[in-house]
Amino acid sequence: MASPSDPAPDAPRNSTSESRPPPAPHAQLGQLLRGSLVTQLIHVAAKLGIADRLRDGPKGVDELAVATGADARALHRVLRALAGLGIFAEAEPGRFSLTPLAEPLRSEAPASLRGSAVLYGEPWWWQACGELLYSVRTGQPAFDRIHGRPLFAYLEETAEAAAAFNEHQTSMTQGDAAAVVDAYDFAGCATVVDVGGGHGALAVAILRASPRTRVILLDRPAVVNGAARRLRAHGVGNRSSCVGGDFFESVPEGADTYVLKDIIHDWDDERALSILGNCRRAMAHSGPTARLLLVEKVIPPGNEPFAGKMTDITMLLVAGGRERTADEYRALLAGAGFAVRRIVPTRSPASVIEAIPA
C-alpha cells in the first residue's frame, strides 16, 4: 500500500537527481570528455569578472554584456551552459545570479579560485595542456616544446603570464596555508626560511599563528617585491624580511626551520636534490632543533580520487616535475641527507613532511 506521500501509480515521478538512475558508463565518459569545454566556460566567466558583477544581486545578460564588452547572445549561451552545471543560475530568462559553486569565482571570496580559473584557460597554459601525448611519449614537459623555454624562464620574460601565475599560486596557497598552520604547530620555530615563498601567503599564515616567530622569505628578485607588500599589508612586515635569490644556488643560513611549499614537486629528482642539498648545507649550523618541512600533496595508494593525481599531470606537462608517494619522498630526502620524522596530514590535500638532518 502506498503511503500518503507516495505519488499515485500513474503520476509522473519527481525528476530530481535522487530519483534518476545513475548515468550509464558511456554517458559518464561523454561528460568527462567535455571537460575541456567546462574549463573554458569557467575561464571566460572568471576573465570577464561575472561573479564579481553579480555580487550585489542578479543582473540581466544585456547589462553584463555591456559591462564586460561581450556579445550578449554569446554570453547568454555561456552562462546558460554554466548554469546547467550549477555555476550561476538563470532564475528567469536572461537574468543570472550567483550560486554556491559560483561564489569562489569572486575575486574577494574567502577561498577564491578566480586566479586558477583565469590561469587554466589562458592560451599560453592551455596550449601545453593540449600536448599531453607528447609528454607521455617523451617524458618531457610539453610547455618547453610549445614555448621554446621552461615555464619559469617564460614567466620571467612575460609579465602578464607571471601575474596570472602568481595570482593562482597565491590563491592556492591561501587555502592550503590555513590548513597547514592548523595541523602543524609553528610556535616552537624561532626563524623560518620560506624557500620559494612566492607572494607570502604561507608566511603570513605562519606569522599570524605564531606571534614569536620570524620569517625570511626567499624567492626570485622579480617576485619578492610583491611578497614584501603583502607582508606589510597584513601587519607582519616587522617580523619578516624578503631576500631575492635562487634556491638552486643557496638559501639563507642559520634558521631553525626551512619550509618549502609546492617547490619540490616542480622538479625532477636531480634538481630537487640540488634544492634540498642547499637547504641541508644552510642548516649545518642551525643546532639540534633544525627541521625541514615540505608541504606537498603526498600521493596515497589505491584508486580513490585525490587532487594530487591531477596536479601530477600538470607537473608532467608544464614543469617537468612530479608528485610523489610517501616512500618516494623518504628516498628523495635520504639522498639529500635527511630522515623523515613524520608526515602530518591536513584538511587540505597538502601534507607536511617533517624531516631532520640525518
Instruction: For residue range 260-309, list pLDDT tens digits in order.
Output: 999 999 999 999 999 999 999 999 988 888 999 999 999 999 999 999 99
Alpha carbons 170 and 192: distance in angstroms, whole number: 19
Arithmetic mean of pLDDT over the chain: 93
Domains in the chain with CATH codes: 33-105 (1.10.10.10), 172-300+315-357 (3.40.50.150)
Q: Which of 76, 147, 199, 265 is catalytic?
A: 265
User: Rounded mean pLDDT of 122-142?
Assistant: 97
Between CA 197 and CA 178 the distance in angstroms is: 15
State the Cα–Cα distance between residues 145 and 128, nearest whole angstrom: 8
Please tell me the predicted confidence (pLDDT) of residue 2: 35
Number of H helices, E strands in the chain: 16, 10
Q: Is 265 a catalytic residue?
A: yes
Q: b/e for 244-258, b at 16 or more Cβ within 10 A?
A: eeebeeebbeebbbb
- What does the alpha-carbon distance between residue 142 and residue 132 come to, in Å, rounded to a whole number? 7
Which residue is listed with cell 505519488?
A: 7
CA distance 259 to 261: 6
E strand map for 143-221: 191-195, 214-219
pLDDT for 226 equals 87
Residue matched to cell numbers 577564491:
112
Which helix (H) or strand (E) segment holds residue 353: the answer is strand 351-357
C-alpha cell at 256: 631553525
Q: Determine the Cα–Cα distance for residues 130 and 41; give it in Å rounded to an integer.
A: 17
Residue 17 has pLDDT above 80, yes or no: no
Secondary element (H or E) of residue 53: helix 50-53
Contact of 307 with 223, CB cutoff 8 Å: no
Q: Mean pLDDT over residues 235-242, rounded?
A: 96
- Compute the distance between CA of residue 182 and CA of residue 179 in angstroms, rounded to an integer: 5
Output the pTM of the full model.
Answer: 0.88
Q: Which helix (H) or strand (E) holds 182?
A: helix 159-183
- Residue pair 291/257 in contact (Cβ under 8 Å)? The answer is yes
Judged against a pLDDT cut of 60, whether residue 53 lies above it is answered with yes
Total residue count of the chain as it appears in this document: 358
Q: Which residues pair with 353 in a beta bridge?
A: 294, 343
